[in-house]
Amino acid sequence: MTFDNVTVEENVTVNDTPDQNVIANETPDDPPQDPLATVTTLLLNRVDLINGELFSLEASLFADDAPVSDEEISFYLDYDLIGSGMTNEEGIASYDWEVDAGAGSFLLEAEYAGSDAFYDSSDAEAITVEDEALEPLEDRIEYIPDDRPALPQNVERVEDCHEVESISYEDVYDTCEEVVCDALLNESCEQDVVVEYQCHIGRRTVRHISNQCTVNAYQVDNIQVNTAEYSCSFSVEDENTVMICDSIYDGNGDGVCQSGETCQKFFINGQNVQSLERNSDDEFREWDPSFFMERATTEVIT
Say if residues 270 and 302 touch (Cβ distance below 8 Å). no
Task: Kindly indicate the confidence band of residue 13, based on its pLDDT and cuts at 50, 70 and 90.
Answer: very low
Task: Kindly indicate the confidence band of residue 74, based on its pLDDT and cuts at 50, 70 and 90.
Answer: very high
Distance between CA atoms of 261 and 280, rounded to whole angstroms?
8
Task: Kindly indicate the confidence band of residue 187, based on its pLDDT and cuts at 50, 70 and 90.
Answer: low
Q: What's the pTM?
A: 0.49
Question: Which whole-number Å values give the CA distances from 159 to 153, 247, 267, in the listed order?
Answer: 17, 18, 22
Task: Kindly indicate the confidence band of residue 243, based on its pLDDT and cuts at 50, 70 and 90.
Answer: very high
Burial category of 266 from C-beta neighbours within 10 Å (exposed 0-12, middle 13-18, buried 19 and up): buried
Domains, the chain, ordered by start: 39-130 (2.60.40.10), 141-151+159-211 (no CATH), 213-300 (no CATH)
Strand partners, 55: 97
Say if residues 158 and 215 touch (Cβ distance below 8 Å). yes
Q: Give residue-wise pLDDT tens across range 99-114.
A: 988 788 999 999 999 9
Mean pLDDT rounded to a whole number for the chain:
84
Residue 138 main-chain phi, psi, to 5 deg: -65, 140
User: What pLDDT score does 231 carry?
Assistant: 92
Write the single-letter amino acid at 179: V
User: What pLDDT score does 8 carry?
Assistant: 44
How many residues are present in the chain?
302
20 pLDDT higher than 80: no
29 pLDDT higher than 80: no
Say if residues 35 and 116 touch (Cβ distance below 8 Å). yes
